[in-house]
Each structure stands twice: as C-alpha cells, then as structure tokens.
C-alpha cells in the first residue's frame, strides 16, 4: 500500500557542519586511496611528484564522482520531503586507505541517510539518482579523450582526466547498482525490475568494456 508523502513546503537543501566535514573527509580520503592504488609511491613504483599529481587527478575524477553521487541522493530525498544528510563511515575510510596500500580498493565511504515516510517508488528513485548521476558524469568526461592525440602537457593531462573520469564513474554506477545489501541496486530492484535492468545491464557492460577492453 502506498502512503502520501509529507513534503516540506520549501524543500530547502541545507548542509550541517557535520555533514560538510564528513563530505570533505570522505572526498579527501577516497582521492588519496585511489592515488595510492594507481601510483603506489609506498612501493617505490612511482615518484612523490607523480603520486601528488595522481592525488590531484583523483580529486577531480574520483572525488567528484563520489560527491555528486551522494548529493544526487540527497537532492532527490529532499525533493520527496525527507530529512537527508551524508554521514561518513570512518572505519570504511580507514579500510579504503589500507586497500589502496595493498592494491585492492573497496570504496564504501559512507551514505546519505534520510528519514520520513516514502513510497517504494520514491525510495527507488532516491537510490537510482546516484548511479544515474555517475553515468551522466561518464558522458561529460568523455569529450576530454579527444585530447589524447594532441601532444603537450595540458592536453595529456586533460585526456588523463577524461580517462579516469569515465572509468571511475562507470565503475561506481555498476557497483552501486548491484542488488545486494545496502547498495542502491537493491532498492531499485525492489521498486521496479524493468528500470533496474535498463540501468544495471548497460552499466555493467560499459564498465567491463572500459576496464578490460579500452583502457
């Protein structure tokens, strides 16, 4: 049975100091963890300068992908009258750093928690917002690959940003659409199996193609 949702009149998007802190910490830690994975300076396989560069690139690609994913959940939840805030999982952030050090990264930095009465459809749309945002970001990063054939430091940097942006956002979309546990895919699957298939199947195929076939 569906229940009417009590909506906030203004639907104002606000951020507490705690939420802003958690977003900043999660953004930073994830960026460093991915840089450790891609440029293992601790193993002597990358110079300090190259590692710092990778941290910066991760801020722009991994960090933005994570940040906008979580903000998409919050925006849609607030639109449906929910009280929604992101909370970092500091244990998982520690594991992300450890994973980056050993070469296997499982990134689950936290989640947007929302409260209030919602229908199954609304809950599914809140969950769907994050992965769909990552798919759109992958499309937005794609034009930067045109610089891959252009010599020079700046074109090379832009092409790398495009490459990383596509890879991480397709990975985030596919991973979060897995219909298991607290992942977004479970809520989408429970709401509408057709919508789930439309988003999940292309996300997995594109992520597999990019990871194993293109880059």
Catalytic residues: 70
Angle formed at CA 134 by CA 131 and CA 139, multiple of 5 degrees: 135
Q: Distances from the Cα of 39 to the Cαs of 28, 31, 89, 190, in angstroms?
A: 16, 12, 25, 39
Tokens representing 18 are 């705690």
Computed over its alpha carbons, how large is the radius of gyration of the chain?
18
What is the C-alpha separation between 52 and 47, in angstroms, rounded?
Answer: 9
Tokens representing 137 are 């970001």
Q: Give the up-direction half-sphere exposure of residue 102: CA atoms within 13 A in the CB hemisphere.
A: 8
What is the C-alpha separation between 194 and 175, in angstroms, rounded?
Answer: 18
Q: Comparing C-alpha atoms, which of 46, 47, 112 is closest to residue 79?
A: 112
């Amino acid at each position: 049975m569906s229940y009417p949702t009590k909506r906030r009149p203004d639907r104002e998007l606000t951020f507490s100091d705690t939420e802003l802190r958690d977003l900043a910490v999660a953004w930073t830690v994830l960026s460093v963890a991915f840089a450790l994975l891609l440029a293992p300076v601790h193993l002597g396989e990358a110079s300090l300068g190259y590692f710092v560069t990778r941290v910066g690139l991760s801020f722009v690609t991994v960090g933005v992908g994570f940040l906008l994913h979580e903000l998409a959940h919050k925006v849609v939840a607030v639109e449906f009258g929910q009280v929604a805030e992101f909370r970092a999982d500091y244990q998982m952030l520690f594991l992300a750093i450890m994973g980056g050090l050993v070469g296997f990264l499982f990134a689950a930095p936290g989640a947007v928690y929302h409260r209030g009465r919602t229908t199954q459809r609304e809950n599914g749309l809140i969950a769907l917002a994050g992965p769909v945002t990552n798919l759109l970001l992958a499309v937005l990063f794609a034009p930067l690959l045109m610089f891959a054939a252009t010599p020079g430091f700046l074109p090379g940097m832009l092409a790398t940003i495009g490459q990383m942006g596509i890879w991480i956002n397709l990975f985030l979309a596919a991973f979060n659409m897995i219909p298991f546990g607290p992942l977004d895919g479970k809520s989408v699957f429970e709401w509408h199996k057709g919508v789930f298939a439309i988003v999940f199947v292309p996300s997995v195929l594109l992520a597999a193609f990019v990871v194993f076939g293109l880059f």
